[in-house]
A and B are shown apart, each in its own frame.
Chain A
Amino acid sequence: MSALRASGRWIRADLRARRGQALLTVLAVAGIVTALITSATLLEDNTNPWRGLFTQTDGAHVWISAQGPLDPAPLAALSGVTGVAGPYRSAPVTLTENGRRTPVALRGLPAAPPEVAHPVVLEGRWLDLADLDGVVVERSFAQAAGLRLGSPFQVTALNGTRHMLAVAGIAETAEQGFYPEWTPGLAWVLPETLDRIEPAIGRSQSVIGLRLADAEATRLVVQGAVTLLDERIQRIYTWREVRASMELDNRLLGLLLALFGAVGLAAAALAIVNAVGARVLTQSRDFATLKSLGLTRRQITGMLLVEHGSLGLLGVAAGLLCGQLVTGLALNGGAGPPLSFVPAAAITTGTALVVLVAVWLPAWRGGRTPPIPATPAAPPRGHLSRLARLAFVVRLPPALVLGARDAFTRRVPAMLTTFGVAIPMMMITIGLGCWATLDNFLAHPEQVGQAAALQVGPGRLPSSEAERLINADPDVAAVYPGTEVDALEPEQTRTVLARAVGTSARPYPFVVVEGRPYADRGEAVAGQGLLDLLDLKIGDRVRVTVGGTPLILRIVGRVVEPDQDGEVISFGLDSLAAKDAMPPEFYSLVLRPGVDPEAARARLLAASNQDLEVRRVVNPAERLAVIRVVIVALSVVLALIGLANLLTASAVGLRDHALDLAVLKAMGLTPRQVTATLVTGTGVLVVIGVVAGTLAGASMAGGLIDLQGYTSGVGAGIGRTPSALTLAVVMLLAVGAALLVALIPARRAARARVPVTAR
């Protein structure tokens, strides 16, 4: 108890004497914990809204679209099926809104919500027989299209008739992924309304959802359904694809944050060991005094542990709060609950443990300070090395030589400082690599497989007319007709996107990373995701079913594929049966370099009198824009950690030299030279750390991003290293800032009156 009071006094006094450093520790730890909490929240399954939605809506596990009317009885009789949603009629229409035309799937549902897969109304109300013009819109689509309750909802059916509906409700569902990752957008109307808009049964599909007893048993059910429906199947998918489409961006971000958080935690631990170690070294005399007063070894260790540990724990607590706040803000789009207890507790105890261990090591050393105050911890003495003597002989500035020598007198702290600067620098470089990759996505979409900036659908025009209009536009450099179809993969358990675009003679300019482009009928290229999904290699043959027709394709290359998790297979239109290939569903337009796609789009729309459907291709970097915010935030945290290390290093340097200053001055060094000596001491380590960190980061960035690309299905080949200029500027900035930070205390020390005391 008595020792507690005394320790309390000491801790208070010490914290007051180094407020800045204390704050830095808290901020660094808080930043890291925030990153970890956020990343865990993003990575955790239950932030994926799918689970909640599926439970809320009593969702169906398998969804099948088929041509024409559908008899649900045989499907319901398949073993394992416990419930059926539908069949519902679904018609493709176009939503026209402010001149924008968006494809929509209009689905007829009854006024009484079904038992299985009933959408959950968020705003407004469900469909009502009293309001035949009411439409309920899926939430993500409503958000993207800017639709609110009461908004007009003007649709154009395939036959060209226009109908004026109004948004009566906004609802969520687990039957398909979010817009725009999942297209077309979804809207529900009463069957009566649908009959009015699209009377032709032949132009619509039947959609049926099957709820299973066992979520893992989808394969057998799907195979059964394929056997039953065979050629009539248009699209088939399970809850796995829906879930995956909902989590795509979160995962990428989560992984990035986790990587930064974990490495940052190591860096923070290093910074803490460093800072506390240096502090203990500086205070060894005080500890000796305290011991001579009667503080025991354990009490001193405990005191240090409490002081520095509580700073760290404060940081953990602050980070926990920040993490909740950040995830709350980031996920306010209706995504599930915040981080559940177990991972939050794991992160909290984990970081707290790391912090305490990092503090304990130097605290333990502090406790072992001999109690004799007259023997301060003097820096190890060494001879001037031969190199240093040589440097003097060739008349290098003495400050440089002395400083450089000082840098290494304490080996372990020197190493800790170097690493402490190098690790944050490495992570910042990797962050810059991500940044450069995103920039490259935007600047060169053709390098990520998006050579075409616009996609034009003929709309109501015949394809010959559409082609004429497109070819007349002066800004169009190349046109590739194409059709996207759903292809049943060989085991027939799900469909993948098959993209027929260009022809064998004139293939679409994909970015082929391995192998070669398709050049003949029956040849195809695929994204990494598809190769992984079907366990294929380049050179393999694969049998898919398109519109009931089997199609045997030989994979000749792997392309960078930003769409659909890379689960896309692409080939020439001529590989498709004529009935599926003609007329082309869309035209991919490669514009002349430097042309603004928006301007070209407006002109095409004007030229066609709004009859063409012109869509800008969404660059994946636009979806990933939030990553830039994350990179900046993490870089700030990492820079703080680097700064903490730097302050530590310069404090140790000053302490080691406080008593040398008189000697140096007596030897004839000017105050400026003394300052330079001190700054060089830390500067040398900083330069080594910065250069090493940047090189390590630059060499890892491309590989890491490619790894990320590989796991996300896009495929390796997208990673970019920041430009040499960027790297040089960042290195200069880092070194410059570091020297500036080291300069202030060094100047003060050099100017100060030197106490002439014996050691």
Chain B
Amino acid sequence: MSAVIRTVNLVKIYQSGGVPVTAVDGVDLHVGAGEFVAVMGPSGSGKSTLVHMLGGLDARTSGEIWLDGKRVDTLSESAWALLRRDKVGFVFQFFNLVANMTVADNVELPALLSGATPKQARERREYLLDALGLTERAEAPPAQLAGGEQQRVALARALANEPSLLLADEPTGNLDSRNTRDVLRLLGEVHKKGQTIIMVTHDARVASLADRVVSLLDGQIVDDGVIPVTRRRPKAGAGDVVELRS
């Protein structure tokens, strides 16, 4: 299995008021194409820091990051930005959408950024919003959407350019159970189509959707394993999955 992302002894030390805080402490991670990895751990264990470094939002202190077989930890901030347009999609817990722009514009942005014509971007947006059942909200500002809707739009936007890697930092952390289910359904669906996903969560039930769970503690990987066969997932399985294109 070829690695989409690979880290070697990855370390992040924050200088917080002169005191060094080691947020990520020598992480070796290897995620293959099409894998769905859940990252778990208590609050402050370095999950967000790790994911931010994988997407180039934060610079590593030492170690290596390889994305699609290319070393990327040495890239500059703007080179990272260019790389993200095509290869990395992000979904965060909050603030995923540009507040001033309509839902439609928000979803069209990545396509425009990667060089699509306005027409192509519009077609892609129409397809994605249709799949999410949000066509009617296309012209609304994000603030008028419910939390679950916002996260689904964010997900649509993150997937708009079919990135090699989808990074999600507690995408359901702010949602009630119904909305959580909607978002997870969508994630499961894209995973089935071969999308590589790394998702941070502290919710065991959410993590159970993944193929593999990585546990962090104080910035170190303390456990890395495939979900046991005795997971609760099968029961939820097939019925949960909704066709993207309904």
* Cβ contact within 8 Å between B95 and A288: yes
Q: Are B105 and A13 in contact (CB under 8 A)?
A: yes
Inter-chain contacts of A376 with B (CB < 8 A): 95
Residues in chain B near residue A288, CB distance under 8 A: 95
Candidates B55, B99, B113, B114; contact of A286 at CB < 8 Å: B99
The reply to whether B57 and A5 form a contact with Cβ atoms under 8 Å apart is no
Residue in B58, B78, B116, B118 whose CB lies within 8 Å of A298: B78
Contact A373 B101 (CB under 8 A): no
User: B105's closest neighbor in chain A, by CB?
Assistant: A9
Determine if A296 is an interface residue (Cβ-Cβ < 8 Å): yes
> What is the minimal beta-carbon distance from B171 to any residue of chain A, in angstroms?
12
Contact A372 B57 (CB under 8 A): yes
Instruction: Tell me the nearest residue of chain A to B102, going by C-beta.
Output: A13
B84 touches A293 (CB 8 A): yes
Check: A285 CB closer than 8 A to any chain B CB. Answer: yes
Evaluate contact between B58 and A372: CB separation under 8 angstroms.
yes
Q: Is the CB of A296 within 8 A of B78?
A: yes
Write the nearest CB–CB distance from A369 to chain B, whole angstroms. 11
Query: Which of B85, B93, B105 is close to A293, meaning CB atoms less than 8 Å apart?
Result: B85
B116 to chain A: which residues have CB within 8 Å? 2
Task: Tell me whether B100 and A17 are in contact (CB under 8 A).
Answer: yes
Chain B CB within 10 A, most for which of A286, A289, A293, A372: A293
How far apart sit A742 and B93, CA to CA, in the bound complex (Å)?
33
Is A13's CB under 8 angstroms from B94's CB? Answer: no
Chain A residues 277 to 291 lying within 8 A of chain B, measured CB to CB, are: 283, 285-286, 288-291
**B-contact 0/1 string along A417-458, CB 8 Å cutoff:** 000000000000000000000000000000000000000000
Q: Which B212-236 residues have C-beta < 8 A from chain A?
A: none
Q: Is the CB of B94 within 8 A of A3?
A: no
- B148 on the A face (CB < 8 A): no
A16-B102 Cα distance, complex, nearest whole Å: 11
A285 touches B99 (CB 8 A): yes
A374 close to B78 (CB less than 8 A): no
Nearest-neighbor residue (CB-CB) of A291 within chain B: B81
B84 near A297 with CB under 8 A, answer: no
Query: Which residue of chain B is the closest to A5 with respect to CB atoms?
Result: B112
Asked if A98 is at the interface of the complex by the 8 Å CB criterion, the answer is no
Q: Are B113 and A374 in contact (CB under 8 A)?
A: no
* A468 to B96 CA separation, bound complex (whole angstroms): 95
Other-chain contact of B109, A9, A298, A371, A374 (Cβ < 8 Å): A9
Are B101 and A9 touching (Cβ within 8 A)?
A: yes
The answer to whether B113 and A13 have CB atoms under 8 Å apart is: no
B140 at the interface (CB under 8 A from A): no
Q: Mark B146-182, 1 if CB is under 8 A from A, else 0.
A: 0000000000010000000000010000100000000
Residue of A nearest to B81 (CB): A296
CB A511 to nearest CB in B, in angstroms, measures: 62
State A3–B113 Cα separation when bound (angstroms): 5
Q: What residues of chain A lie closer than 8 Å to B174, measured between beta carbons? A: 757-758
Using A3-B113, A296-B77 as known contacts, say yes or no to A13 and B101 having CB atoms under 8 A apart.
yes
Please judge, given known A-B contacts A13-B100, A373-B96, A374-B95, whether A293 and B78 are in contact too, CB under 8 Å: no
Contacts of A12-62 to chain B: CB distance below 8 A = 13-14, 16-17
Q: Chain A contacts of B52 at CB under 8 A?
A: 372
A292 within 8 Å of B (CB atoms): yes
Name the contact of A374 in the complex, choosing from B48, B98, B105 (C-beta under 8 A).
B48
CA distance A731 to B93 in the complex (A): 48
Q: Is B110 an interface residue (CB 8 A)?
A: yes
A10 and B90 contacting across the interface, CB-CB below 8 Å = no
Which residues of B62-95 are within 8 A (CB) of A? 77-78, 81-86, 90, 92-95
Chain A residues near B115: list those with CB within 8 A: 1-2
Whether A477 is near chain B, meaning CB under 8 Å from some CB there, is no
A129 contacts B by Cβ under 8 Å: no
Shortest CB-to-CB span from A758 to chain B, Å, is 7
A10 touches B100 (CB 8 A): yes
Asked if B25 is an interface residue, CB under 8 A from chain A, the answer is no
Task: Return the contact of A295 from the options B92, B102, B113 (Cβ within 8 A).
Answer: B113
Residues of B within 8 A of A350 (CB): none
Q: How far is the CB of A359 from chain B (nearest CB, A)?
A: 18
Q: Give, as a whole number of angstroms, the nearest-CB distance from B104 to chain A.
A: 10
Q: Is A6 among interface residues, defined by CB-CB distance under 8 A?
A: yes
User: In the bound complex, how far is the Cα of B77 from the Cα of A674, in angstroms?
Assistant: 41
- Min Cβ gap B235→A in Å is 32
Interface centre among A1, A297, A374 (most CB of B within 10 A): A374
Contact of B113 with A294 in the complex, beta carbons under 8 Å: yes
In the complex, which residue of chain A has the Cβ closest to the Cβ of B87?
A: A294
Contacting residues, chain B, for A290 (C-beta < 8 A): 98, 109
Given contacts A9-B105, A286-B98, contact A294 B110 (CB under 8 A): yes
A13 surroundings in chain B (CB, below 8 A): 98, 100-102, 105
Determine the chain A residues whose CB is within 8 A of the CB of B110 once the complex forms: 293-294
Instruction: Check A371/B57 contact, CB under 8 A, given A293-B85, A293-B113, A296-B81.
Output: yes
A481 to B141, CA, bound (A): 83
Residues of the A chain whose Cβ atoms lie less than 8 Å from the Cβ of B108: 9
CB <8 Å contact, A294 and B100 = no
If A13-B105, A14-B100, A373-B94 touch, whether A2 touches B112 (CB-CB below 8 Å) is yes
| Chain B hits for A286, CB < 8 A | 98-100
Contact (A289, B96) CB under 8 Å given A295-B113, A757-B174? yes
A624 to B100, CA, bound (A): 50
What chain B residues lie within 8 Å of A291 (beta carbons)?
A: 57, 81
Contact partners of B11 in chain A: CB under 8 A: none
* Contact assessment for A6 and B113 in the assembled complex, using a CB-CB cutoff below 8 Å: yes
The one of B55, B57, B84, B114 that contacts A2, using a Cβ cutoff of 8 Å: B114
* Choice from A5, A294, A371 contacting B118 with Cβ under 8 Å: A5
Scan residues 132-146 of chain B and give those whose CB is less than 8 A from a CB of chain A: none
Q: How far is the CA of A295 from the CA of B98 in the complex (A)?
A: 13
Of chain A, the residue at the smallest CB distance from B49 is: A372
Residues of A346-372 at the interface with B, using a CB-CB cut-off of 8 Å, are 370-372
Q: Give chain A nearest CB distance to B172 CB in angstroms.
A: 14
Residues of chain B with a CB closer than 8 A to A298's CB: 78
Q: Contacts A3-B113, A294-B82 given; indicate if A285 touches B95 (C-beta within 8 A).
A: yes
Known: A13-B100, A13-B101, A13-B102. A289 touches B77 (CB 8 A): no
Sample of 8 A–B contacts (CB below 8 Å):
A2-B113, A2-B116, A16-B100, A289-B98, A293-B85, A294-B81, A297-B77, A297-B78
With A291-B57, A295-B81, A374-B48 known, 11 other A-B pairs at CB within 8 A are A13-B105, A289-B98, A293-B90, A294-B85, A294-B86, A294-B110, A294-B113, A296-B77, A296-B81, A296-B82, A757-B174
